Amino acid sequence: MASRPRWHLVSLAAVTVWGAWACEQGLTSLGRRGGWMMLMIAVWTIALRRMGGASSWAKSILIVLSITIVGWRSTTEWSEVRTVDFGEVATVATLASDPEPLGRGVKVLLSIDGRRFEAVVYGSNAAGVSGLERGESVRVVGRTRETREERRRRSQVRHIVGTIEVESFSDPEGGARRRSRALERSANDVRDVMARGASVMRGDDAALFAGLVYGDDSAQSEEMVERFRESGLAHLTAVSGQNVGYLLAIITPLLRRRGRWTRLSVTLGALVWFAVLTRVEPSVVRAAGMAAVSAVALSIGWRPRAIEVLSMCVIVFVIVDPFLAWSIGWWLSTAGTFGLVVWTPSIHRLLRGASERRRRLADWVAPTIAAQLGVLPVSVAVFGWPSALALPANLLAAPVAGVVMLVGIPMALVAGTVPAVADLAMIVPTVAVRWVDTVALVTARVEPPRVIDIVVTLSIPLSLVAAGRFSRHRCANLG
C-alpha cells in the first residue's frame, strides 16, 4: 500500500533549487541572497521540529546537507564556465548539437576538451558541417573568443563558455561517424530513418511531426514557432512524460518474465537511449528522470507517490546540473508536472458527477486544467499572460498530439524502412499533425484583448477555489 505523501521531499527540492540560485557568485552571492535562504532553513527546521519525532532532526540536517552540496556544485559549475583560456585552436571537436540553419549560415555547438563553444559558419564551412549530427566529430581550425557581454550569461547557463571563429572544417582521422559513441550512432540512425519516413509529408507537416515525436524543432519555420507559442501549444513540441510513457508501454510487455534487476537495467538503458534520441533537452531529462526514479524505487520495493518522484528527480538533477535552476524548459516541464500530480485529483472530484458522461468529461478536462495552472506562474513571468483560448486549444490539440506520439514512431520507422508503403503508413500521422497545426493557427489568429486573457486565466483557479469551498460547505451541512 502506498504511503502518505512525504511533503518534506517537496521542501527539500525547493531548498535545493534555492541553494543552486544562491551560490551563483560563490560566497559573494551567498552574502546577498543567503539571508532569505537561511530564513527558509530556519522556518523549515522549526516546522520539522514541531512535527515531533527523532527524525525531524535528521530532516533538518538533510536540508542543510543538500544546500551545502548543491551550493558547492553551483559554485563549481559557474567557475568552470567563467575561467576559460581563449586563443587559436586546431583540434578535433565533437558536435554538441545538431546543426541548425541561421539565416544564410549554420549554427552549431562544438565541444572541445569538454567545453562548449558556439559557432556560426557560412559558405563551404556551413556545407561541411550541415550534414553532420550530434555526437559526430569534425576537425576544426579557428580561434575561440569570449561571448559578447549581452549574451554571455544566457550562454553560460547552457554550458556555452564562448564562441569560435571557424577558419576551416575537415574530416578527422577515421571519419566523423566512426568517432561517435555507439549510443549516439544508434540514436542518430533511428532519427534518420524516421526523417526519411516523414519526408513524404509536406515541409511544415514533417517539421511539426519531428517536434511532436522526438522534440526536433530545428526545421520549424518562425511562423510555426510563433503560432504555437501564441496559442499556448508550444509545450507539445517538447518531449514530455507522455512520450516516455509510450516508450515504457512498448518495452514493458517484453520484460514481464525477466528478473527484477534485468528489468531495471533494460528500463534505465532504454531511458538513457531515448534521452539521447531526443537530444537531452530539459523536459526529457525531467520525464526520463522521473521514470528512472520510479523504476529504481519499485525495484527496491518502495511505491512512492508521484509528488515524491518529482521531488527526488528535481533534487538529483539540480545537484548534477545546477544550471537547470535557470532553464525555462526545465521550469515549465516541472511546473506542469507539479500541477498534474497535485491538482488533477481535486479538479477531477469537482468536475465529475454521477453520470458516466460527466466522469468522462472530468477525465478529459481535469489534467489539462491542472497542467495549465501549474505552468501559469512561469508562463506569466517569462512570456506574459497566456491567451484566453489556450485551455480550449489544449483540450482540442493535446489528445491528437498524443496520437501522433503513439503511432508516429512505428509508422515513421516502417515508412523509412520500406519506402513503397511510406504514403500509406503516414496517413494517420499526417492527418493528426495537420489537425494540431490547424488548432494552433486558428487560436493564434484570434487575439482577444489582453484584459480578456487576464480575466479568463484568473477565473479558472478562482472558480475552482469557489467550487471547492461550496462543495465542502454543502457536505458540512449534510453532516
| Long-range contact pairs involving 54-63 (C-beta distance under 8 Å, separation at least 24) | 59/8, 59/12, 62/12, 63/11, 63/12, 63/15
pLDDT digits 0-9 by tens, 3-43: 444 567 888 888 888 888 887 766 555 555 555 555 565 55
pLDDT digits 0-9 by tens, 373-399: 888 888 888 888 888 898 899 999 988
Domain boundary among 32, 51, 80: 80
Domain boundary among 107, 142, 170: 170
pLDDT digits 0-9 by tens, 198-232: 999 988 899 999 988 888 887 888 899 889 888 88
Domain boundary among 113, 147, 170: 170
Do residues 93 and 193 both lie within one domain? Answer: no
Mean pLDDT over residues 418-429, rounded?
93
126: Cα within 13 Å, side-chain hemisphere:
12
**Confidence (pLDDT) at 473:** 47
Do residues 76 and 124 both lie within one domain? Answer: no
Q: Are 239 and 281 in contact (CB under 8 A)?
A: yes
Do residues 325 and 432 both lie within one domain? Answer: yes
Q: Which three cell numbers stand for residue 307?
A: 509528488
Q: Are 326 and 334 in contact (CB under 8 A)?
A: no
Burial of 28: CB neighbours in 10 Å, binned 0-12, 13-18, 19+: exposed
pLDDT digits 0-9 by tens, 156-176: 999 999 999 999 988 887 665
Do residues 134 and 211 both lie within one domain? Answer: no
| pLDDT of 475 above 60 | no
- Structural domain includes residue 332: yes
| pLDDT of 55 above 90 | no
Do residues 125 and 240 both lie within one domain? Answer: no
| pLDDT of 455 above 60 | yes
| pLDDT of 191 above 80 | yes
| Terminal alpha carbon distance of the chain | 30
pLDDT digits 0-9 by tens, 350-370: 887 667 777 888 888 888 888
- Where in the sequence is the domain holding 207, given as residue range(s)? 185-473
- Residues with Cβ within 8 Å of 216's Cβ and at least 6 positions away in sequence, in order, are 98, 191, 210, 278, 279
- Structural domain includes residue 176: no
Coarse DSSP helix, strand, coil percentages of the chain, rounded to the nearest 5 percent: 70, 10, 20
Question: How many independent structural domains does the chain possess?
Answer: 3
